Amino acid sequence: MANKKIFIFVLGIFVLLLIIVGLMLAGSPISQQALKYDEIRLRNFSSISYEITNYYEKLKFLPERLESLGNTSNFSIVDPETKRIYDYQKFSPNSYKLCTVFSTDSKSANSQYSYINSSSIKQHKKGYDCVIYNL
């Protein structure tokens, strides 16, 4: 009877350790959600950058606001988590930055971004940060 209790106890510890190791390797659901939001943000930034480039090529100047890009059914100018429009700032005739609150730091998350080649990921810090684009 005592051997059976010891076996169940050891088995329980082993299962608990497996769960902990699994969470450490795969990441917690919360950290996975944070990565997902940042992937969406970077995908949106890429689409917005493409639209701004097209706008610039047609009109020879940068838009004043993201809403000036027109139909946004093919891309989103709204943060997936906060539901706020991304911050857009022009700082030269052919340079601008897109800003938002990121959930992760790109240096620690690069290997975990699933949709994009890590060499083309725009670098960002956790928290409010901007990504700079030059035409």
pLDDT tens digits for 40-77? 999 999 999 999 999 999 999 999 999 999 877 788 99
Instruction: Give domain limits for the chain.
Output: 30-134
* Share of the chain residues as helix, strand and coil, in percent rounded to the nearest 5: 50, 20, 30
pLDDT over 60 at 113, yes or no: no
Q: 67: burial class by Cβ within 10 Å (0-12, 13-18, 19+)?
A: exposed
Q: Which residue has the tokens 């959600």?
A: 33
Query: What SS3 class is residue 42?
Result: helix
Average pLDDT over residues 89-99: 94
